[in-house]
Amino acid sequence: MATFVLVPGAWAGGWIWRSVSDRLRDAGHRVYTPTLTGLGERSHLGGPHIGPGTHVEDVAGVLTFEGLEDVVLVGHSYAAAVLPGVADRCRERLRGLVYVDAAPLPSGMAPAELLPAGLRETFADSVARDGDGWALPVPDWDELTRTFGTVGISDAQRELMTLLQTPHPWSCYTRGVVLEHGNDPGLPQTLVCCAMPPRQREFFRGDHSPLAGDWTFRDLPTGHWPMLSDPGGLAALLSPAADG
């Protein structure tokens, strides 16, 4: 039995992991699916003060106050900005890190720095126009499909996403997390590639990869939200990570 903590990406709460967490629990694992401050059922706590450092505190708090040890920490998409900070603070509580369709950000880098310039401007305009200057509204479905890839999402899942996704604090994209112990957490790390373009996958796997530390790569050919489009496949890929 292993302990998993599954961290959602942008606009989502812990609800998005339900189908994966059910499968992992059926296999005998313990699973926690925290919702980050300002999202989901905690959206009423949002504001311009919320950044990735807040979300590092959220996840570190789960590890500490639940008394968790030997944890497989899993993060989807935006959560790649959060996991390195948690590992930097709580390495002794972790067994390994799993990044789902995203790669970790180096110390101090803000997620917005990785966005294409056009998309960054689109998001910033949306924040100014429709997000009271601090919240990134959920893009419409066509934009989500163009930007991230929604392959495998059923009509019912689309309705669920439309109902439950909430605006994301924009400061989470414009601020970085400084790592006191450097970019290599000294833990086994896995990158699950789903909608990531082939050239980007090869870049991360190549000789000039910016990724630091010990890495395993896994392919799961589906859309950017595999916890919805292929929860069984994702759960099956997560299980080996529990073996360290």
pLDDT of residue 212: 84
Query: pLDDT of the chain along its 244 residues, tens only?
Result: 899 999 999 999 999 999 999 999 999 999 999 999 999 999 999 999 999 999 999 999 999 999 999 999 999 999 999 999 999 999 999 999 999 999 999 999 999 998 999 999 999 999 999 999 999 999 999 999 999 999 999 999 999 999 999 999 999 999 999 999 999 999 999 999 999 887 777 878 877 677 888 899 999 999 999 999 999 999 999 987 767 5
CATH number of the domain encompassing residue 236: 3.40.50.1820
Cα 116 → chain centroid: 19
Sign of the Cα torsion 128, 133, 136, 137 reads: negative
Q: What is the DSSP string of 129-173?
A: HHSTTTEEPPPPHHHHHHHT--TT--HHHHHHHHHH---EETHHH
Number of domains in the chain: 1
Query: What's the pTM?
Result: 0.96
Query: Letter for the amino acid at 127?
Result: V
Sign of the Cα torsion 201, 113, 9, 178 reads: positive
What letter does residue 206 receive in the DSSP assignment? S
pLDDT of residue 208: 64
CA 236 – CA 26 distance, rounded (Å): 12
Domain that holds residue 230: 3-241
